[in-house]
Amino acid sequence: MPESQHLTMRIHGDLGDNAYILDAFTGCLAYARASVLRIESHLFVPQGLTAIALLTESHASIHTYPELEMAYVDYFSCSVKPRMDDFINMWKDFGFDVTDKKIQHR
């Protein structure tokens, strides 16, 4: 059985632009070499976004709380191919602070 990786973290910053958040989410996954099959998202009224990426390796998700300038991110991979550190650092390149990051190897 291949080694798996499970990342949980929070991001902080201006989360009011849903299109930018989706671009960042997609960009971070691509930079980490995740194999994205499909991304589904839901916009909440008056604000907020939930998105999930179906990956050949498993899944990734984000749920935003713009009023708190915070989002929860979850990324699970049944492969060691995705580079979790690159995924984390790319969020910083998009202008967000990353906190409470935990990577578990299973």
Instruction: Pick the catalytic residue from 4, 41, 58, 79.
Output: 58
CA distance linking residue 106 with residue 94, whole number of Å = 29
pLDDT at 102: 95
Query: Mean pLDDT score of the chain, rounded to an integer?
Result: 93
Instruction: List all residues 6 or more positions away from 26 whose beta carbon is below 8 Å from its beta carbon.
Output: 36, 39, 53
Say whether 28 is catalytic.
Answer: no
Is 63 among the catalytic positions?
Answer: yes
Q: What is the pTM of this model?
A: 0.92
Instruction: Identify the CATH number of the domain defined by range 16-105.
Output: 3.60.90.10
| 14-53 tens-digit pLDDT | 999 999 999 999 999 999 999 999 999 999 988 999 999 9
DSSP 15-73: ---HHHHHHHHHHHHHHTT--EEEEEEEE-SSS-EEEEEEESSEEEEEEEEGGGTEEEE
Q: Is residue 78 among the annotated active site residues?
A: yes
Q: Give me the pLDDT at residue 80, please.
A: 74
